[in-house]
């Protein structure tokens, strides 16, 4: 059995197998205690080390780690050791924003891996933009990285008639809105967003370094230049690295809740 650490030590405490609290929950609580004591400032222990320290199964360790990730306390990436999440990016609600500018403003180094930049057609997206179903579009698909770590999978569609010049842009370290203004003379001035919990598919989870069945946020954005729709964007954001922040007052509008039986328009 694991022995009780001496007074003042930050090591593991034994788990109570007679307790009604599941072992993974006890492990989660003890790992949080050790984190708060500053034990893991250098590195977070690997799964095999935790199974040995606590004399539990790998399944128990993974359940505890899953909860730590869901609470935004630990970052886990494919091929790399888990570590503490010391920075969570905050995003304001209720205003036009550029993720590029927000990250830069918070001192976060950001870049993008461009997965797709080409002409395309999509009847559903064209409908969102008020275009005929076979209208040509420009699609920009990126994996957004913050301090070198995956943050968001971002896909933006724009009418080709205004966005064609974007096909020559390098989006590795620049903003879509900045290039849209510089190259196309189009400025996004407003729009609307819908944010909701989301379960990424296999490809998105792999790109973002998420564990199997780990939830995220999905953001759907319709951007307008004046009254004209010029952008339809679908973004999947890691829930463990991103927080949405809203300010409100007595003058704020009430939130409109959709009927439970209704389905979002496609």
Domain architecture of the chain: domains with CATH:
23-84 (1.10.10.10), 89-245 (3.40.1410.10)
Question: How far is the CA of 77 from the CAs of 88, 118, 149, 171, 179, in angstroms?
Answer: 16, 29, 8, 24, 31
209-236 residue pLDDT tens: 888 778 888 989 999 999 999 999 999 9
**pLDDT for the residue numbered 74:** 73
Q: Are residues 31 and 42 in contact, defined by beta-carbon separation less than 8 angstroms?
A: no
Q: How far apart are alpha carbons 194 and 231 in whole angstroms?
A: 14
Q: How far apart are alpha carbons 111 and 113 in whole angstroms?
A: 7
**pLDDT for the residue numbered 257:** 56
114-159 residue pLDDT tens: 999 999 999 999 999 999 999 999 999 999 887 788 888 999 999 9
Question: How far is the CA of 141 from the CAs of 55, 80, 183, 231, in angstroms?
Answer: 45, 25, 18, 13
Q: How far apart are alpha carbons 48 and 65 in whole angstroms?
A: 12
Comparing C-alpha atoms, which of 93, 50, 98, 102 is closest to residue 74? 50
Starting at the edge strand found earlier in the chain, the sheet holding 149-159 runs: 110-120, 137-146, 149-159, 228-238, 216-225, 190-198
Dihedral Cα 93, 99, 101, 107, nearest 10 deg: 100
Q: How far apart are alpha carbons 124 and 132 in whole angstroms?
A: 10
SS3 156: strand
SS3 261: coil
Q: What percentage of the chain exceeds 90 in pLDDT? A: 42
Element (H, E) at 128: helix 123-128
**pLDDT for the residue numbered 259:** 56
């Amino acid at each position: 059995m694991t022995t009780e650490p001496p007074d003042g030590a930050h090591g593991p405490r034994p788990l109570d197998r007679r307790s009604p609290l599941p072992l993974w929950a006890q492990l989660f609580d003890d790992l949080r205690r050790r984190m708060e004591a500053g034990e893991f400032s250098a590195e977070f222990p690997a799964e095999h080390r935790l199974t040995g320290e606590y004399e539990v199964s790998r399944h128990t360790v993974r359940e505890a780690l899953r909860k730590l990730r869901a609470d935004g306390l630990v970052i886990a990436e494919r091929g790399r050791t888990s570590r503490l999440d010391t920075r969570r990016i905050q995003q304001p609600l209720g205003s036009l924003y550029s993720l590029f500018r927000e990250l830069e403003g918070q001192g976060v180094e950001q870049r993008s891996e461009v997965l797709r930049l080409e002409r395309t057609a999509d009847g559903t997206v064209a409908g969102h933009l008020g275009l005929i179903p076979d209208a040509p579009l420009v699609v920009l698909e990126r994996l957004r990285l913050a301090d070198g770590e995956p943050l968001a999978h971002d896909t933006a569609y724009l009418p080709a008639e205004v966005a064609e010049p974007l096909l020559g842009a390098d989006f590795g370290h620049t903003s879509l809105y900045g290039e849209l203004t510089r190259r196309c003379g189009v400025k996004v001035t407003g729009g609307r967003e819908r944010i909701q919990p989301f379960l990424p598919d296999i490809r998105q989870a792999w790109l973002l370094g998420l564990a199997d069945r780990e939830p995220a946020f999905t953001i759907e954005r319709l951007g307008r230049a004046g009254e004209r729709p010029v952008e339809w964007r679908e973004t999947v954001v890691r829930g463990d690295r991103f927080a949405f922040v809203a300010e409100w007052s007595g003058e704020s509008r009430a939130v409109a809740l959709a009927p439970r039986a209704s389905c979002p328009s496609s």
